[in-house]
Every structure is written in C-alpha cells, then in structure tokens.
A and B are shown apart, each in its own frame.
Chain A
Amino acid sequence: MARRVSWSQRLLPYLYVGPALTVACLFSFVSMGISLWVSFHDYDAFAGASRFVGFDNYHRALYSADSYFWLAMRHTAVYVVLSVCGTLLTSLPLALLCLRAKVGQALFRTLYFLPSITPGVVLALVFYHIFSNYGQLLDCSWTALPALALLGVWAGAGYNMVIFLAGLTEIPQILYDAAVVDGANRWQQFRHITMPMLRNTLVFVTVMTIIGSFQVFTSVYIMTSGGPERSTEVIAYSIFVNAFAVAGQMGYASALAWLLFAVIFVFVFVQMRVFRSRRIYDE
C-alpha cells in the first residue's frame, strides 16, 4: 500500500510537467529538427515526394544568381537599424518626459500603449491609407522601407516607454540628490547617473527590438507585398512566399528559415544572458 502511494508520488511530477513540456518541445526542437531534415531535401509537402539533395538548398540561397536571400537580408538589416535607432530615440525621451510631466502619467501610458494591444493587421490597414493620403511613401522604392519602419517604431514606442519607465523609477533618488549637492547640471545627471543605471534596460530594449524587427512580416504582407520593385522584401516575407506561394519549395524555404535562425541566434543568445540575469517577482 505504502509502496503504491510512493510510486504515484514519484510519477506525479512527470504527469504535471509532461503535456506542457511535450508541446513546447514539439513546436521548437522537434519542428526545427524536421525542418533541418527537409532543408536537405527537395521536398514537396503536397506531392509527398522528397529527394536528398545535400546542401543544394543552402547553396542556392547563398550563391545562386536568382536568389533574393542577400537582397532580403540587406532590406531586413536596414529595417532593423532604422527600428532600433527610431525606438531608442523615441521611447527613452518619452519615458523621461512622462516622468517629468508628473500629471496625467496614467492617461499617457494608456494612450501610448494602444498600438501594442491592436492587431498588427489593423494598424497596417490604417497606415496603408494614412501613408497614401499624405505623400506616396509606399509607392516609392526608397521610402517604402523607412515608412514601414516608421510604423514599427510608432507601434512599439509605448511598450518600450513602459519598460524604460520601470527602469527609471528603479534608480534611487538619492543618487540625484548627491549629484545636485556636487553641482551637477541636468545633462551631467543624465549622462553620469541615468545612462549607467539604465544600461541593462537599454540593452534589453535594443536586443528585443532587434529580434522583433528581424521578424517583421505583417506590415510588409499587408501594405506592400514586398514591393515596389522588391524594395521591401524582407527575410520573413521571403520565407513565407517561397514556402506557400511557390509550389514544391518547402526544402528551400526550410533552408532560408535555418539561415535566418543562424543570424538571429546571436541576438537571442545575448537576450538569454540578459533574461537569466534579471529578477522577476523577487521582492
């Protein structure tokens, strides 16, 4: 009797952990494994046929003359740089202003946060019209990508502002008091107290913005479909088109996904380091 209880006691944790862990692993490790296998094959999901082709799919993406991989990567890199600069130049100043304004903080936070809780498709549809009402940003091949980045920055400003606000309120007031006694002006306080104390938050927001904008898809799909003249073809869109708009390219699309993973992984690694070092709920 006692023995049976102890058996079930021993199995219980696995029963609790099992379903969640299985699904989480199935849709990360297992699926990445399958797609790695597929990426070495000439694979057609609908025909069900597959032929081993070695590194052909990767070779095609990286070196073939008809490959748009590097073009898409270049566009993605431009989008990432614009988003990161735009985000840091808006959300940190907004957080500082929000603190300084003192009144209406809750209201501002609510209004600035709205885009974060609105479906991306809705934002893209609305901005598609706003951009075409005021200038033809989306019709011109060198303004289309910055216009998409503008939407990205606008949509993320409030979210990142909230993160910066949390970081700012953690800085002990006593540091500023001491600086005032030492005769530091506003800029010196910002430069020598706020910035160093905010370093981790800055790294966090930067890395999260990089990872997020590497994956930009919805606004491209809705607003430009990669055009005009492929000027907004980014890597996530490229993968989508190759996998689902062209038949029998699943192997090639899988290779593209793995290449994207290789690029993003550098930043994800940094993020994991930051993630591990932060404390949640530990007051």
Chain B
Amino acid sequence: MSRRIALIAMTLGALVMVYPYAYMVGSSLKTRKEFAESRESLIPPRYQIREQLAHARGAPSALDWPGADWSIWRNYVDAIRYGGIDRYLGNSFIYAVVITSLQLFFNTLAAYAFARMKFFGRDLLFGMLLATMMVPPAVLLIPNFLVVSELGLVDTLWGVIIPGFAGAFGIFLLRQAFLNIPAELEHAARIDGCGSWGILVHVILPLSKPAIITLGLFTFMGAWNMFEWPLVVLSNQDYYPLTVGLSLFRSETSADWPRVFAASVMGAAPLILLFLVAQRYLVGGISLSGMKT
C-alpha cells in the first residue's frame, strides 16, 4: 500500500520535472501567432484535435492563423538560418571538446605522478593542489578575468578555455583510481621493459577507464553549460557559446520566442542524449562525489 503511494508521489514528481521540458519543446513548435494566443498550451494549437475538428467543420480555428502551414521544424531551421545558432552550437562543441581533452591529458599525467612516483615536495604540492579547490568560481570570476586580461587573452577562444584546462578535482579523482591499481602490475610491466610513459599508457589507463570516462563526461558537461565565464571574457559574438548566445534574448518581449525555444532545445539535447547513453558513469560519479559514511 505504502509502496503504491510512493509510486504515485514519484510519478507526480516526475511530471513536475518533465513539465518545463514539455513546455519548451511544445513552444518551440508553435508559430509566433500561436505563442501569442495560447502561451500555456503544450501542443501547438494547429496540431490540437479540437482545432482540427473545428477546421474540418469550416468553423474559424487556429488553422486559419498566419503560419498555420509551417512545417513542424520551421523554427529550428530558422534558428540556424537566421539566428546563427549553428555557429554558437559549434563554438560550444569546440570549447567542450578542447577543455575535455586538455583536462584528461594533463590531469592524467599529474594524477599518475602523484599516485605512483616519489619526488621531493610531492605531498606539499598535492596539498597545494587541493587547496586551490577552496576558492569558489563566483569569487574567482573577477580575479581570473584580471589574469586573462594580463595574458592578453580577453575576447579570444583561449581566454575561455585556459582556466578550465586543469582541475584539482579531476586530478584527485584520477589519483584515487590509480592508487587502486595493484603495484605488482606496474612492476611486471617494468620488468618487461616499460618506462613510466609505457606503464601509464598500457597498464594504468586501460585499468581506470570508468574513472576517466566519468571525469570526461563531467568536464564535457561543465564546459558545455558554462555561462558566466564566457559571458565575461567574450565580447565578439562570433566566439559565443550557445549559453551566452541564448542569453542575448533574456527579458526581451519582442523576441521571436518560439525560435529561441527551438535554439534552447538544440542546446539542451546533446547533453541529454549523452546522459542517456552514459548514465551509469555519471550517476556512479555523483554517488562518489557524495559521501560514504
């Protein structure tokens, strides 16, 4: 009995979670007239059965409104053709891919050294690295901007990318994974003539695939969703990622909202698809970042 109540409660909750997405997709399919006339509806009026029946009867209906002959994809096509959304999407993709690759490469190297090599000052440097996590991003916004402007990278692709290129959390996560690999495997590889690079590539990396995939996904998602940093660094619209491109429409009553919603769907969809494919790594990662008693 209580199980059924739980199930009903969770289902209601799921509807609350999904509603904004349904609203976004529904609105992205509307014509401008439909959006103005029926803002709350999830289904565009020209696809509603009631309106179609009215139209069949010859009564006035939404099918007589201007734009009623629009194809269902019209706003998506227009967002790309006139809104430059493909450009923003491309930029977001570049930022996410470059940041993820750099993070994985440099964090792996650092994590390997911290996990497996003995060198002077190792614990001190690792402590320093962990301490960098103490400054939260909102505090760092202005300071990092000052550094990037000192480096002369304001309003460039690299200005957006460079602070994301290494992260203490990633090194920490990978180091923990590497520490779990038995040292005997490494000794065996060394006897077979592997150097430290060979060990990293042939022993460590294949054995820590889940941690690397988790970190890669987290980084990719973080980079795709980043907003405040590119907003501050960039002024040239050609370099805008999708998030900043979309923010141009904020509180603009005259905006072509169905088209903005179409762009929003295109901005949210890649990550949702990625999430559906790679869910177990992400949820596993979240559970890890959560606590164990």
Contact of A223 among B19, B143, B250 (CB under 8 A): B250
Closest Cβ of chain A to B287, distance in Å, is 4
Q: How far, in angstroms, from A121 to B268 measured CA to CA in the complex? A: 10
1/0 per residue B236-256: CB within 8 Å of A? 000000111011011100000
A176 at interface (Cβ–Cβ under 8 A)?
no
Q: Is the CB of A31 within 8 A of B110?
A: no
Q: A94-B10, A112-B13, A167-B293 are in contact. Are A35 and B143 (CB under 8 A)?
A: yes
Across-interface contacts of B44 in A (CB, < 8 A): none
Q: How far, in angstroms, from A244 to B142 measured CA to CA in the complex? A: 9
Closest Cβ of chain A to B242, distance in Å, is 7
Across-interface contacts of B292 in A (CB, < 8 A): 166, 170, 278-280
Across-interface contacts of B141 in A (CB, < 8 A): 236, 239-240, 243, 257
Closest Cβ of chain A to B247, distance in Å, is 5
Q: Is the CB of A101 within 8 A of B136?
A: no
1/0 per residue A20-52: CB within 8 Å of B? 110111111111101100100000010000000
Q: How far, in angstroms, from A163 to B283 measured CA to CA in the complex? A: 9
Closest Cβ of chain A to B201, distance in Å, is 13
B37 at interface (Cβ–Cβ under 8 A)?
no
1/0 per residue B144-186: CB within 8 Å of A? 1111011000000000001101111001110011011000000
Across-interface contacts of A165 in B (CB, < 8 A): 287
1/0 per residue A232-258: CB within 8 Å of B? 000010011001100000100110011
B6 at interface (Cβ–Cβ under 8 A)?
yes
Chain A, residue nearest B247 (CB) = A121
Q: How far, in angstroms, from A101 to B6 measured CA to CA in the complex? A: 5
Across-interface contacts of A117 in B (CB, < 8 A): 221, 225, 271-272, 274-275, 282
Q: Is the CB of A31 within 8 A of B144?
A: yes
Q: How large is the interface on B (under 10, 10 to 19, 20 to 34, 35 or more residues)?
A: 35 or more
Closest Cβ of chain A to B42, distance in Å, is 11
Closest Cβ of chain A to B276, distance in Å, is 7
A17 at interface (Cβ–Cβ under 8 A)?
yes
Across-interface contacts of B3 in A (CB, < 8 A): 100-102
A180 at interface (Cβ–Cβ under 8 A)?
no
Q: How far, in angstroms, from A171 to B167 measured CA to CA in the complex? A: 32
Contact of A14 among B16, B119, B247 (CB under 8 A): B119
Closest Cβ of chain A to B260, distance in Å, is 7
Chain A, residue nearest B112 (CB) = A16
Across-interface contacts of B139 in A (CB, < 8 A): 32, 215, 257-258, 260-261, 264
Across-interface contacts of A127 in B (CB, < 8 A): 20
Q: Is the CB of B134 within 8 A of A268?
A: yes
Docked complex: A162-183 residues within 8 A CB-CB of B:
162-167, 170-171
A141 at interface (Cβ–Cβ under 8 A)?
no
Q: Is the CB of B13 within 8 A of A280?
A: no
Across-interface contacts of A19 in B (CB, < 8 A): 106, 109-110, 166
A159 at interface (Cβ–Cβ under 8 A)?
yes
- The segment from A53-61, A80-88, A197-205 found at the interface with B is A197-205
Show 18 A/B contacts (Cβ-Cβ < 8 Å), sorted by A.
A10-B119, A13-B117, A16-B117, A19-B166, A21-B129, A31-B144, A101-B3, A118-B271, A119-B227, A123-B20, A126-B24, A128-B251, A162-B286, A163-B291, A166-B287, A166-B291, A243-B141, A280-B172
Besides the known contacts A166-B286, A217-B138, 14 further A-B residue pairs in the complex with CB atoms under 8 A apart = A12-B117, A31-B140, A31-B143, A35-B146, A94-B13, A102-B3, A114-B21, A126-B20, A162-B290, A163-B289, A166-B287, A217-B228, A261-B135, A281-B288
Residues of B within 8 A of A (CB): 2-3, 6-7, 9-10, 13-14, 16-21, 23-24, 27, 39-40, 106-107, 109-110, 112-114, 117-119, 122, 125, 128-147, 149-150, 162-163, 165-168, 171-173, 176-177, 179-180, 196, 211, 221, 224-225, 227-228, 231-232, 242-244, 246-247, 249-251, 257, 260-261, 264, 267-268, 271-272, 274-276, 279, 282-283, 286-293
